[in-house]
Structure 1
Amino acid sequence: MLRGLNPLLSPDLLHALRAMGHGDDIVIADANFPAHSNGQRVVRLDGITATAALEAVLQVLPLDSFVPDPALTMEAVGNPSEIPPVVAAFQEIVNEVADNPVKIAGLERHAFYERGRKAFVILQTGETRLYGNILLKKGVIKP
């Protein structure tokens, strides 16, 4: 056990977050996301919601301030302007916890999968809400 860290940050997840460099991506994925067939590295948090995982990750991971969209979610198929409830919850967490709060942007489903394939790590959660997927680009901690 370590003091000051969210207990959802497992040893494998902490290792992945620490090993990531500036500009690397992490996908926090729902239970339906094809993580193992798309990811180079997969860390599992079965039984944990994507919103709880996002909150834990943002407590230690800086968001990139050098790109326009450091937080992306998968757009609803057939209705890209729809904001699913889980995405609204993601936005609240980004606003409250991120070091660099931003408006979350959307990415078409297949484009999201393509970005996910290139991510440093996919964090597979037990999230059952549809569209419970978010991609974050790691930033730097300024001196």
Structure 2
Amino acid sequence: MLIGIDSRMTPPLLHCLARMGHGDEIVVADANFPSASIASHCTLSEAIHLPGLDGPAAIDIITSLMPLDSFTDYSALRMQIDGAPEEMGEIHTAGWEVLTPRLPENGRLSSIERQDFYAQARRAFAVVQTAETRPYGCFILRKGVVF
């Protein structure tokens, strides 16, 4: 047991976050996301599973330990809804509610088209698959630095 670590945190996820460096990205994917095939291209080639958590809960435990980046165009990305790129689904609003108070100074939240999301996810450090069932419930978080 460790003191101060959220009880929802798993050993594989904790190990992943500790290994990541500044600028590395982690995908928080919904239950429908092709996590195994996308993860096969990532630094960690096996998806990390959080079967009891939805997307915002996974974002919460990750960002409770991992700072978000403020040196690029975005700190986090959400997957856009096909045909409605500006529309925020319920899952996006819930994710942004968790992320907004954890943004560093000059941090930004943004979005990315679904097919571009898949391409970027293949270049991520790791993929975390959640039990999230709301459509387009996928995010990419970019690791920042601790000052």
| TM-score (norm: length of structure 1) | 0.94
The equivalent residue for 1:35 is 35
CA RMSD of aligned residues (A): 1.2
After superposition, residues 4-23 of structure 1 pair within 5 angstroms as 4-23=4-23
The equivalent residue for 1:108 is 113
Q: State the secondary structure of the residue aligned to 1:44.
A: strand
The equivalent residue for 1:86 is 91
Residue 50 (structure 2) pairs with residue 49 (structure 1) = no
Equivalent pairs, count:
141
Query: Unaligned stretches of 5+ in structure 1?
Result: none
Confirm or deny: 8 A CA contact 2:91 2:134 kept in the other structure: yes
The equivalent residue for 1:26 is 26
The equivalent residue for 2:79 is 74
Q: State the secondary structure of the residue aligned to 1:136.
A: strand
Q: State the secondary structure of the residue aligned to 2:95.
A: helix
Identity %: 40
Q: CA 1:76 to 1:99, structure 2 compared with 1: closer, same or farther past 3 Å?
A: closer
Summarize deviations over 1:71-91 as a string: whole Å, max 9, x none. Answer: 001000011111001100111
| TM-score (norm: length of structure 2) | 0.91
> How big is the shift at 1:103?
4.3
> How big is the shift at 1:104?
2.0
Query: Unaligned stretches of 5+ in structure 2?
Result: none
